[in-house]
Amino acid sequence: MAGVIAAGGPATAAAGAAMLQMGGNAVDAAVAAAFVSFIAEIGVVHWGGSGIAHLYDPRAQRSLVYDFFSNTPGLGATPPAHLDFAKVVVDFGATTQDFYLGRAAVAVPGNIFGLCQLAADYGRFPLPTLLEPARQLAHDGVLIEPFQANTCDLLSPLYTHTADIRAIFAPNGRVIQPGERLFIPHLADTLAALAAEGVGLLRHGRLAQTLVADQQQNGGLLSATDLAHYEVQKADSIRIPYRDYEILLPPPSSTGGVLTAFSLKLLSHFDMAHFPHHSARHLQLLYEVMMATNRARPYWETWSESLPVETAIGQFLAEGFVRPYTRQIETALQIGQPSSPATEPDGPNHTSHLSVIDADGLAVSLTTTAGESAGYVVPGTGFIPNNMMGEEDLHPYGFHSRPPGVRLPTMMAPAIVLQDGMTRLVVGSGGSIRIRSAILQTLSNVLDYHLPLAEAVNRARVHLENGVLQCEAGYDETAVFILATALHYPVNRWPNRSIYFGGAHSVARTADGRLEAAGDNRRGGATARV
């Protein structure tokens, strides 16, 4: 077998599989698949966004994180007198949420920089080969999958915000429907230019010039200096032992990686044989681990701002700091009452993830986002920018309060699990702060409960939000009833499965060396094997 890929849609998975079939490695597959995802998964990601890639090479025993998340814009520029920054309201049924769009919502886009750098460093194929599946899809248009169409409909206030974006997402006066063909004018030509010019197209070429000119003319903050000086950051993984495994997680700008590591260190103190899967005891333990992590998070926020990053990570994950939280969990389990509550801010909701392992064991875990998009298209390019500067929870001290050139934090946490130096599991997720809970439960399902990968990914999940344990449909009703009534834990029972609980598309190598893949059916997951 040449490799496996799990991704957020069949076209994305097929693009990665095509690279593996042609003799490419996991990096070639991930890069080609990611560029296709920006078209085929357009309900949740765009190539005007940013991301994090995590790779592990078992031959060199080396892991590396490529951080190409967004920077705040405005280097070398004078802010305009009037910012193009508008609020829209999205109705999620049970609640509504405000989003902010426009040119002043655009942060420095990192996807093109990061994916091109990753391909240049570790891929086998030239950039034109890797971009060809996306260019062809842009030329022909994409038949919209049901999950993507439903997401576009949910976000219709964003995707009908301006005339140019309405022409893509609502060309017939209504939001595009499943099975209809979506076409983005000019995108195929821009992809062809990227294949010919490489990252220079966005660094200083025609795309950069058009993007910046549009910003300057229409109340944006992004400058030519922002694009010229943007750097892909390369960092070593956070490595933590867990049972018989080693788990690799990304460091900052990933807040999610550090917090997931903290949760895993808490969970490692408990013998899961005493917590039968999906029992009331299991639910209670998950609640307490998630709540303890929320209580610890303010320390991380303080230390990450005031200390060197390696010092902050070491201090936050030190056993002396973790142990008191472990005792709090033990106490709550013994007395059968929930521990003291703590809340945490939300973050960008619309992300996508893909995981790849090739025949040599090279693994890539890649998560990307565009926030929810800025609600417009850069003229003549097909380029839809992000709205990361309009994500309220990324800016706790107010919009546009951070100085230009600062890397924004992210909850993305693409993870890789090793066993005896070999890739065992590759996992990540989309879904804002639910990214952490999705990854934590998928890891535990595989490593603690030894569930088959597809079952581990698609079993019902829980998430702690505002002190209430959100229980997805599929949990044993008796276990949930005991937790809520006998143990007095606040619980919200969901009547169905939902994208709310993330999309943990995963690949794995089994104990006997077989490669397997599982797409998360909450988010249109698809797999391919070569």
CATH, residue 294? 3.60.20
The tokens describing 178, both together, are 């499943």
Read off the amino acid at residue 186: H
Q: What is the pLDDT of residue 500?
A: 86
Domain extent at residue 432: 235-347+413-502
Of 294, 311, 320, 262, which is closest to residue 440 (Cα–Cα)? 262
The tokens describing 387, both together, are 């709205």
Of 391, 353, 499, which is closest to residue 158 (Cα–Cα)? 391
Strand 422-427 to 506-509 pairing: antiparallel
Q: If 0-12 CB within 10 Å is exposed, 13-18 middle and 19+ buried, where does residue 133 land?
A: buried
487 is a domain residue: yes
CB count in 10 Å sphere of residue 177: 13
The tokens describing 244, both together, are 């018989």
> How far, CA to CA in Å, does 320 sit from each of 265, 313, 323, 364?
12, 13, 6, 33
The tokens describing 227, both together, are 């694009």
Please enumerate in sequence order all residues whose Cβ is within 8 A of that of 508, keeping only pairs 6 or more positions apart, or say none. Answer: 357, 424, 425, 426, 446, 453, 515, 516, 517, 518
Give the C-alpha separation, 296 to 299, whole Å. 6
Enter the DSSP assignment of 104.
G
The tokens describing 396, both together, are 């706790």
279 is a domain residue: yes
213 is a domain residue: no
The tokens describing 134, both together, are 């996306």
Enter the DSSP assignment of 112.
H
For residue 342, the SS3 value is coil
Contact 385, 376 (CB under 8 A): yes
What distance lies between CA 40 and its chain's CA centroid? 16
Give the C-alpha separation, 102 to 104, whole Å. 6
351 is catalytic: yes
Give the C-alpha separation, 392 to 482, whole Å. 37
CA-angle at 31, arms to 67 and 382, nearest 5°: 95
86 is a domain residue: no
Q: What is the pLDDT of residue 96?
A: 66
Enter the DSSP assignment of 403.
P
518 is a domain residue: no
For residue 498, the SS3 value is coil
Contact 65, 52 (CB under 8 A): yes
Contact 480, 471 (CB under 8 A): yes
DSSP 118-167: HHHHH-SS-HHHHHHHHHHHHHH-EEPPHHHHHHHHHTHHHHTSSHHHHH
Give the C-alpha separation, 63 to 55, whole Å. 6
Contact 4, 13 (CB under 8 A): no
In a structure prediction context, what are the per-residue pLDDT tens digits for the chain, which is 530 residues long? 789 999 999 999 999 999 999 999 999 999 999 999 999 999 889 899 999 999 999 999 999 999 999 999 999 999 999 999 999 887 766 556 788 999 999 999 999 999 999 999 999 999 999 999 999 999 999 999 998 998 898 888 889 999 999 999 999 899 999 999 999 999 999 999 999 999 999 999 999 999 999 999 999 999 999 999 999 999 999 999 999 999 999 999 999 999 999 999 999 999 999 999 999 999 999 999 999 999 999 999 999 999 999 999 999 999 999 999 999 999 999 998 898 887 665 554 568 999 999 999 999 999 999 888 999 999 999 999 999 999 877 777 789 989 999 999 999 999 999 999 999 999 999 887 789 999 999 999 999 999 999 999 999 999 998 899 999 999 999 999 999 999 999 999 999 888 889 999 999 999 888 999 999 999 999 999 99
Contact 250, 407 (CB under 8 A): no
Q: What is the pLDDT of residue 55?
A: 98
For residue 9, the SS3 value is coil
Rounded to two decimals, the pTM is 0.96
Please enumerate in sequence order all residues whose Cβ is within 8 A of that of 443, keeping only pairs 6 or more positions apart, or say none. Answer: 242, 247, 264, 415, 417, 425, 427
CA-angle at 499, arms to 299 and 442, nearest 5°: 60
The tokens describing 250, both together, are 């990304």
CA-angle at 255, arms to 253 and 257, nearest 5°: 100
Q: What is the pLDDT of residue 194?
A: 98
Half-sphere exposure of 110 (CA within 13 A, CB side): 29
CB count in 10 Å sphere of residue 333: 18
Q: What is the pLDDT of residue 362?
A: 97
Among candidate residues 72, 190, 255, 351, the one labeled active-site is 351
Domains of the chain: total: 1
